[in-house]
Amino acid sequence: MREIGIDGKFYYPKEQLTATSLLVEDIEGLPLAPEDERNEIFRLRSEKITKTEIVTSKGAKIELTTDFYI
């Protein structure tokens, strides 16, 4: 979405970080997503609630919980 910020880029959440925005036209099928990412999204949708441990580049461990139960 190039209409937001400067050619689609803007500072968020602080001036030192640059963010971009995008518009996903087919949120159900995700035909333009890379296959591995699309498969992971479909897996998360099917399991509804998941807990995943993520290790940051600095070695810190973060538990990510996703809840798609609606």
Query: Could you tell me the pLDDT band of residue 20, with boundaries at 50, 70 and 90?
Result: confident
The Cα 49–Cα 62 span in angstroms is 16
Closest Cα to residue 66, out of 23, 46, 57, 55? 46
Main-chain dihedrals φ then ψ at residue 40, nearest 5 degrees = -65, -40
Residue 2 has pLDDT above 90, yes or no: no
Dig out the tokens for 49 from the structure.
């609630």
Tell me what the mean pLDDT of segment 9-32 comes to.
Answer: 91
